Chains A and B, each alone.
Chain A
Amino acid sequence: MLHIVNKSPTERSALASCLAHARKGGAVLLIEDAVYAATKGSAAQASVERALRELPVYALGPDLDARGMGASVIDGVKVVDYGGFVDLVIEHRTSQSWL
């Protein structure tokens, strides 16, 4: 399953809740304000790194760039564009948006 998160980890609990339910075989995609979670020094860095041991974590490049965070991505997080977003949706049988 593809888990899509769009909330900043310091504003809402969506990412924490998502990571508590995401499992091996799935993937997490951070878009919109959730891309802050994919950046070095964020309060969510440790939990994102923990998640990376179990499953891939992606961040949407255009959203990172828009927020001036394109050069601060945590090692191991893969940056994708909208085409990559589409590919992830196709690759996984279902998606869940953690709104």
Chain B
Amino acid sequence: MNIGLLINEGPYSHQAADSAWQFAKAALARGHRIQRVFFYNDGVHNATKLTEPPQDDRHIVNRWSRLAEEHGTDLVVCVAAGLRRGLVEENLAPGFRISGLGQLVEAGIESDRLVVFGD
């Protein structure tokens, strides 16, 4: 099945991004397709390449980039929510793209399932 994900929280502060990534990995392992991951609200902070966690911690941003690289997962950051929070093309990590909220509605229309991760 085609599954869309919506992530409303930033990395590290809240478990939402971790839960969503674990979900995505498990879905791919079961042969499903992650049609799109849409980052909204503080979720846009998942996309900044300036992220540098301590060495013994997981790198949430790189994990998403790897998902895009290995599975072609479409990682979309909301332009309006990003601008509000200083997330622009120049600091975007590999695999992410910035686009409009319409991409979230489209994910709702085109995916068989949409799962929301937030606070």
Q: A-side interface residues toward B, CB under 8 Å?
A: 4, 6, 31-33, 62, 81-83, 85-87, 89-90, 94-97, 99
- Interface residues in B21-36 by Cβ distance below 8 A to A read 22-23, 25-27, 29-30, 32
Number of B interface residues in the complex (CB < 8 A): 21
Rounded to whole angstroms, the CA-CA distance of A2 and B117 in the bound complex is 14
Residue pairs across A and B with Cβ atoms less than 8 A apart, 23 shown, are A4-B115, A6-B15, A6-B16, A6-B19, A6-B119, A31-B19, A62-B22, A82-B22, A82-B25, A83-B29, A83-B30, A86-B23, A86-B30, A86-B32, A89-B3, A89-B115, A90-B32, A94-B113, A95-B116, A96-B116, A97-B117, A99-B8, A99-B118
Closest residue on chain B to residue A95 by CB atoms: B115
Chief secondary structure at chain B's binding surface: mixed
Total CB contacts across the A-B interface at under 8 A:
50
CB distance from B13 to the nearest CB of A (A): 13
Rounded to whole angstroms, the CA-CA distance of A62 and B21 in the bound complex is 14
Contact A32:B30 (CB < 8 A) given known A89-B113, A89-B115, A97-B116 = no
- For A82, list chain B residues within 8 Å (CB): 22-23, 25-26
B109 adjacent to chain A (CB < 8 Å) = no
- B41-85: contact bitstring with A at CB < 8 Å (1 yes, 0 no)? 000000000000000000000000000000000000000000000
- For B25, list chain A residues within 8 Å (CB): 82
CB pair B30 A99 closer than 8 Å: no
